[in-house]
């Protein structure tokens, strides 16, 4: 391996790819005088931002393996919090030895030198915020993707860096540009910078417009390596591959990566020039293909094939690692405004270079977005008026896929303006673009395609002032191809349904497919529908069956939409505009990327600030909805974006702003910049937050993804780095040598020390463990270690100004936050805790202003709960293993009483068994259900047969009354899980779905026992009611006082249908694939919430007797008419409006069945959780996991349809043994008492040590723990 300056070193053997080499071999690169760590001193660290000032005592003081940043050995939390190092290093006053700190100091020293070089190169300018971030990565030798808008200083930094590295370290550098005009600009800028800095190296530029002899000379110099910095275009690289076959470059700079990386051959050439041979590239390709196959196999439940493919994957991964280590590799830096690169070899590049080319951001974009809606025949007049008023410095683009391109040609427009104005107008060729830049042309006119020279080939902030789009930039897709996307097809069905077409059956069929289909299957069906592949290419019968269903639905929908278009010419479906253009039926969708790229040419970093630009869209009146659709998409990137009518802006003021922003002088920046690392536990949550401010850039560090996105407020920019830890980083060790199941006692400090190791996960079988480097389940040595997260956190902590920890707002989240704090504190003094009760942009902005300290009481409570679960669980489990000789058995303080309820319910169910006769009556839906339980099987048979013969049932009304139905409060966790189980979603699945909905920003935090609704929630209810015309039914309620959490509610005023529309149109960027189950649970939450904010309703009911043969009868209550509306309008209760008005009714029997059941109910997920809440054991965060553990131990099984919980023989035997021998450990009273202790610790009313002492004394009384360990500890404590 090599550092950024080329020195070779050997990384440690631990395989944490991309992390282990950070900061190694620094001494070879930089003098020792620059490696003194910034934060080290012999005094206690000021704990500002976490616990106030002064020293802190921790009664339960966890020890973490490898946590000391000085010696790399274990350290306790107290020492890290107060000294920044372990106790031993503090006593010895040891200087830091952590390579990362030393490395960062050396990098800072290098940046100081570079900044002086940068000032000379740019004639007085200093580095600004984002450039400084990028520079740190460049000097660390990282392959770097700089994804930011045009004009933000990417190219300036990279060109200066190339000169610096070439002059100081003799690096051979290649610079690639997308167009010859940009290549020329780069060469000219390099030449000017070289003069300013005294650079005397060889800068070679291939200019395609130069004379042949000059071109031949340059080619000969390239062949002979007679250059230090080479500037060429992507096209030149493609046309002369032989010139670069065996060339190696230390640094490759691809300015505008989108254009070069859209071809696989270019990517392979780049990789070759960076030192990757063909064998290595093919191994990487095979690895990325296998990764996709693994996802498909796992999604389809093909476990044997998955395991076989996984072994092959791990073998190829090892070969690739070895192949990469053999050769010297160069460094690549790519720059882009949008990060649009796609294709199979992008994945190969990502694998080899360990970085991503993704992202789009809108920070510091200062453009006035305007539009004009007019008739086609007036467009030329409008262009003439605009050019006459604004003058030179413009670009006019005819949108490439817009229908208007058939009405106006570039040549026609050039001729018209040259005849009617005094300005020099030219077609946007490379030669004319050069003339525009040097003032020989005033305005260029070109095609508005994403890769066009007009969009990407111009970089002149002082010259380009405004841009005019003839037609909104858009994609034009034939309707058959448009509807080949299944979600878009579903969106069209929703539109047809809303407009009176009966497509319910098709919607149900498509919804079922969407429920089960995975991404790979989705792509295959799309390819079949687009006829890219044939049915003969597919062997999977399930895919073929789904394809046939989707094809039938698509054909119907396409024909129906064509019929409508034949009559109306246009259909607007959200942000999609369907039109009939000649004989074609097209879907027009706004092209956001092209608009951002092109309009960004008017607003760029210039003289320390952003230039102001003007963008004008001229749209055909028949297609004005396209402008609004573009605006809507822009708002999802930057909600401040607003498209104004051109006729309503103050043009004079805009022109003054344009002029003023270009006349500013000076070398200081007017943009204030701050970097923040936000740490969360979930990758989904990280992606959701990152998408709030535009499509984020992605930075790969090893196996982890860091999302980067800016938050802009005026001239202030917060550059947010978002990292997910993937849950807990540490867990209690299972090392048998470390105390009592990982719990030690320090006599001298009189404290308990739970010992924590980083969590490991076997990559072969998925088993998770905390001790050792070999999987205890399958013996594999291919292990993912959360130590990688530790290293990445430390690396990022050294790069940012501030660290915010945004883990879940409960005691588990607080413990994760505490662990993160301990990891990063030695490298950054500005560490704070923030809370998200919903994942929305508004909540994020609020959290950034409400930073707080880590709550040590919550951490102590979690430590106590973890210790409690460990020592009780391990003690009782060990006892069960010895008793029953079954090593998969387990027990816990909450699991055991819950198992008892399930056993008790099953016993009662067996005692009260009966035969049920169930009837569905009525002539139309909803059918009326009537059920009777009969003890005698013979009588039940006779009743069943008689009802079958008669086919009717008599209902006699005995009373009519009005019933007032009041709304319930919004969901708490237990209520949600209860209702979810009623619709067939078990607790564990419901919690998983709710977690994903929360992390995707669609609902508030789902682990809560509060019914409180915030003012934000009230506003959501008001907005939805206003949109749906339900405002008169609102009765807004907070449902109690504000507490730690809020009730579970939606975060947007969207019902389930609204959500599906937004998904189909791409209006919301959800980081996961939302299935119909997600939508179903969301619908449950939304209806309950909206009901809670509406008034009660009254319904007319009858009390009646259903007469059953053989003198049996059933009393029933039947609602038949809503008298006054309220929350029924959203809750949609079942009302039998078809019921006859007579007092004696004879109803047809639609369906009848006879089956064995019981008068007593079995427990299911919902009932069990409801009882846990009522009794006071368990917590919202543990309800589902408790049931999962009972099932995993084999104590209960689930019935197939109703998901009833049925105890096994083993479960009954284990429960009876535990309750007979250890009642004071597993009783409801003891469990409730322990839960109360946890609550008391969270508020500081009970010391965690006292609680631990209590449980230890209980265990010792039953001889469940090591008596010698306990007595030794007690004696030592007494003597001290």
**Residue numbers annotated as active site:** 1005
DSSP codes of every residue in 707-774: EEEEEEETTEEEEEEEEE--S-SEEE---TTSTBTTEEEETTTTEEEEEEEE-EEETTT--EESS-SS
- Give the separation between CA 53 and CA 175, rounded to whole angstroms: 52
Residue 769 near residue 776, CB atoms below 8 Å: yes
Q: Which H helix or E strand runs over 877?
A: helix 856-884
- For residue 414, which phi and psi values (nearest 5 degrees)? -60, -45
What contacts 24+ positions apart, CB below 8 Å, involve 1102-1105?
Answer: 1102/957, 1102/959, 1102/960, 1102/961, 1102/1139, 1103/957, 1103/958, 1103/959, 1103/960, 1103/961, 1104/955, 1104/956, 1104/957, 1104/958, 1105/955, 1105/956, 1105/958
Non-local (6+) Cβ contacts of 582 within 8 A are none
Cβ neighbours around 381 below 10 Å, total: 12
Size of the chain, expressed as the number of residues it contains? 1280
Residue 640 near residue 367, CB atoms below 8 Å: no
- Give the separation between CA 1096 and CA 969, rounded to whole angstroms: 12
Any alpha helices (H) in 924-1053, and if so which ranges?
Answer: 937-950, 973-982, 987-999, 1015-1028
DSSP codes of every residue in 228-297: SEEEEEHHHHHH-GGGGTT---SEEEEESHHHHTTSHHHHHHHHHHTT--HHHHHHHHHHHHHHHHHHHH
- Give the separation between CA 638 and CA 360, rounded to whole angstroms: 11
- Give the separation between CA 103 and CA 23, rounded to whole angstroms: 5
Q: Taken in order 827, 828, 832, 836, is the CA torsion positive or negative?
A: negative
CA 1149 to chain centre: 51
For residue 354 the two structure tokens come to 């360990």
**Interior angle at CA 668, CA 663 and CA 673, nearest 5:** 115
Question: Do the bridges between strand 63-64 and strand 751-758 make them parallel or antiparallel, or are there none, so unpaired?
Answer: parallel
- Residue with structure tokens 């090599």? 2
Burial (0-12, 13-18, 19+ Cβ within 10 Å), 31: exposed
Residue 1063 near residue 1082, CB atoms below 8 Å: no
Taking Cα atoms as reference points, which of 270, 283, 278, 202 lies closest to residue 234?
270
**Interior angle at CA 1023, CA 1022 and CA 1025, nearest 5:** 65
CA 83 to chain centre: 36
- Give the separation between CA 163 and CA 693, rounded to whole angstroms: 34
Q: How many helices (H) and strands (E) does the chain have?
A: 46, 41
Taking Cα atoms as reference points, which of 496, 507, 502 lies closest to residue 550?
507
Taking Cα atoms as reference points, which of 900, 1000, 970, 977 lies closest to residue 1207?
900
């Amino acid at each position: 391996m090599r550092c950024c300056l080329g020195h070779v070193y050997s990384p440690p053997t631990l395989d944490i790819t991309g992390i282990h080499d950070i900061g190694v071999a620094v001494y070879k690169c930089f003098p020792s005088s620059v490696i003194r760590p910034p934060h080290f001193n012999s005094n206690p660290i000021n704990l500002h931002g976490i616990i106030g000032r002064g020293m802190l005592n921790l009664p339960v003081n966890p020890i973490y393996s490898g946590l000391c940043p000085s010696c790399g050995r274990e350290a306790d939390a107290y020492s890290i919090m107060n000294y920044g190092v372990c106790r031993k290093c503090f006593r010895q006053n040891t200087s830091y030895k952590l390579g990362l700190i030393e490395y960062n100091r050396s990098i800072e020293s290098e940046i100081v030198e570079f900044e002086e070089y940068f000032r000379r190169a740019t004639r007085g300018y200093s580095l600004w915020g984002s450039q400084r971030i990028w520079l740190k990565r460049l000097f660390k030798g990282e392959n770097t993707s700089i994804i930011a808008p045009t004009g933000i200083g990417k190219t300036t930094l990279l060109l200066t860096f190339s000169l610096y590295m070439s002059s100081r370290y003799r690096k051979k550098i290649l610079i690639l540009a997308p167009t010859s005009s940009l290549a020329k600009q780069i060469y000219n800028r390099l030449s000017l910078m070289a003069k300013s800095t005294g650079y005397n190296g060889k800068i070679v530029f291939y200019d395609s417009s130069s004379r042949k002899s000059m071109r031949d000379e340059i080619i000969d110099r390239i062949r002979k390596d007679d250059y230090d910095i080479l500037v060429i275009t992507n096209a030149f690289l493609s046309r002369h591959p032989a010139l670069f076959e065996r060339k190696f470059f230390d640094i490759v700079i691809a300015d505008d990566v989108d254009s070069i990386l859209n071809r696989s051959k270019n990517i392979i050439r780049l990789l070759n020039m960076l030192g990757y041979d063909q064998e290595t590239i093919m191994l990487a390709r095979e690895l990325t293909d296998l990764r996709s196959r693994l996802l498909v196999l796992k999604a389809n439940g093909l476990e044997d094939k998955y395991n076989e493919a996984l072994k092959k994957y791990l073998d190829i991964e090892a070969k690739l690692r070895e192949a990469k280590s053999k050769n010297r590799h160069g460094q690549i830096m790519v720059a882009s405004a949008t990060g649009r690169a796609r294709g199979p070899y992008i994945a190969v590049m990502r694998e080899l270079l360990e970085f991503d080319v993704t992202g789009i951001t809108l920070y510091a974009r200062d453009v006035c977005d305007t539009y004009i809606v007019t008739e086609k025949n007036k467009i030329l007049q409008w262009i003439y008026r605009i050019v006459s008023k604004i003058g030179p410095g413009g670009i006019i683009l005819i949108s490439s896929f817009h229908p208007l391109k058939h009405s106006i040609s570039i040549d026609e427009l050039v001729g018209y303006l040259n005849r009617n104005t005094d300005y020099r107008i030219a077609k946007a060729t490379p030669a004319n673009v050069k003339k525009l830049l040097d003032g020989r042309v005033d305005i260029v006119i070109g095609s508005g395609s994403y890769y066009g020279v007009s969009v990407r080939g111009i970089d002149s902030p002082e010259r380009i002032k405004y841009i005019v789009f003839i037609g909104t930039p858009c994609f034009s897709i034939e309707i058959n191809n448009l509807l080949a996307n299944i979600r878009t097809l579903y969106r069209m069905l929703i539109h047809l349904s809303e407009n009176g077409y009966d497509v319910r059956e098709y919607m149900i069929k498509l919804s079922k497919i969407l429920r089960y289909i995975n991404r790979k299957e989705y792509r295959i069906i799309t390819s079949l529908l687009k006829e890219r592949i044939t049915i003969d290419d597919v062997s999977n019968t399930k895919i073929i069956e789904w394809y046939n269903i989707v094809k039938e639905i698509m054909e119907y929908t396409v024909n129906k939409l064509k019929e409508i278009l034949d009559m109306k010419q246009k259909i607007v479906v959200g942000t999609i505009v369907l039109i009939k253009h000649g004989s074609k039926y097209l879907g027009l969708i706004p092209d956001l990327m092209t608009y951002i790229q092109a309009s960004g040419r008017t607003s760029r970093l210039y003289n320390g600030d952003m230039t102001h630009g003007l963008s004008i869209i001229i749209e055909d009146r028949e297609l004005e909805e396209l402008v609004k659709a573009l605006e809507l998409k822009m708002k999802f990137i930057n909600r401040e974006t607003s498209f104004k009518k051109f006729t309503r802006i103050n043009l004079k003021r805009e022109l003054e702003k344009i002029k003023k922003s270009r006349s500013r002088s000076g070398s200081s920046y007017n943009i204030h910049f701050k970097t923040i690392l936000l740490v969360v536990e979930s990758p989904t949550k990280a992606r959701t937050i990152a998408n709030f401010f535009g499509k984020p850039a992605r930075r790969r560090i090893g196996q982890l993804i860091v999302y980067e996105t800016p938050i802009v407020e005026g001239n202030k920019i917060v550059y947010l780095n978002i990292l997910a830890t993937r849950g807990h980083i540490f867990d209690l060790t299972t090392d048998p040598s470390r105390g009592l199941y990982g719990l030690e006692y320090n006599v001298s400090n009189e404290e308990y020390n739970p010992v924590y190791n980083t969590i490991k996960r076997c990559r072969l079988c998925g088993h998770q463990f905390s001790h050792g480097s070999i999987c205890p389940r399958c013996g594999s040595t291919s292990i993912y270690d959360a130590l990688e997260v530790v290293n990445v956190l430390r690396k990022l902590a050294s790069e940012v100004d501030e660290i915010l920890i945004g883990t879940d707002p409960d005691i588990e989240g607080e413990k994760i936050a505490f662990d993160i704090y301990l990891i990063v504190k030695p490298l950054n003094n500005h560490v704070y805790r923030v809370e998200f009760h919903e994942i929305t942009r508004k909540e994020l902005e609020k959290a950034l202003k409400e930073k707080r300290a880590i709550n040590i009481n919550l951490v102590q409570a979690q430590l106590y709960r973890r210790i409690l679960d460990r020592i009780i669980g391990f003690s009782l489990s060990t006892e069960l293993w010895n008793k029953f000789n079954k090593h998969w058995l387990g027990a816990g303080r909450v699991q055991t009483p819950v198992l008892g309820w399930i056993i008790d319910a099953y016993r009662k169910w067996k005692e009260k068994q009966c035969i049920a006769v169930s009837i569905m009556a009525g002539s139309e839906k909803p059918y009326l259900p009537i059920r009777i339980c009969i003890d005698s099987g013979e009588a039940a048979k006779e009743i069943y047969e008689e009802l079958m013969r008669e086919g009717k049932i008599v209902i006699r009304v005995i009373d009519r009354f009005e019933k007032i139905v009041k709304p319930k409060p919004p969901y708490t966790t237990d209520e949600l899980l209860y209702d979810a189980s009623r619709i067939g979603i078990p607790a564990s699945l419901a919690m998983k779905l709710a977690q994903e909905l929360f992390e995707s920003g669609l609902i508030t935090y789902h682990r809560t026992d509060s019914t409180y609704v915030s003012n934000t929630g009230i506003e959501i209810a008001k907005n939805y009611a206003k949109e749906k015309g339900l405002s008169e039914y609102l009765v807004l309620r907070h449902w109690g006082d504000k507490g730690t959490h809020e009730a579970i509610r939606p975060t947007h005023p969207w019902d389930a249908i609204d959500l599906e529309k937004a998904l189909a149109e791409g209006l919301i960027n959800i980081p996961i694939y939302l299935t119909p189950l997600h939508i179903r649970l969301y619908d449950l939450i939304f209806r309950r919430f909206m009901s809670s904010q509406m008034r009660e309703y009254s319904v007319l009911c009858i009390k009646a007797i259903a007469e059953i043969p053989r003198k049996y009868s059933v009393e029933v209550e039947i609602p038949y008419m809503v008298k006054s509306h309220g929350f029924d309008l959203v809750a949609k209760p079942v009302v039998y409006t078809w019921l006859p008005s007579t007092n004696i009714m004879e109803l047809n029997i639609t369906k009848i069945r006879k089956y064995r059941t019981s008068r007593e109910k079995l427990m299911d997920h919902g009932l069990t959780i409801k009882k846990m809440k009522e009794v006071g054991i368990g917590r919202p965060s543990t309800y589902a996991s408790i049931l999962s553990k009972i099932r995993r131990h084999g104590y209960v099984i689930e019935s197939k349809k109703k998901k009833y919980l049925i105890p096994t023989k083993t479960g009954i035997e284990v429960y009876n043994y535990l309750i007979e021998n250890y009642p004071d450990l597993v009783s409801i009273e003891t469990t409730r008492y322990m839960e109360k202790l946890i609550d008391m610790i969270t508020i500081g009313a009970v010391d965690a040590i006292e609680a631990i002492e209590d449980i230890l004394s209980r265990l010792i009384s039953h001889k469940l723990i090591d008596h010698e360990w306990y007595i030794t500890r007690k004696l030592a404590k007494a003597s001290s």
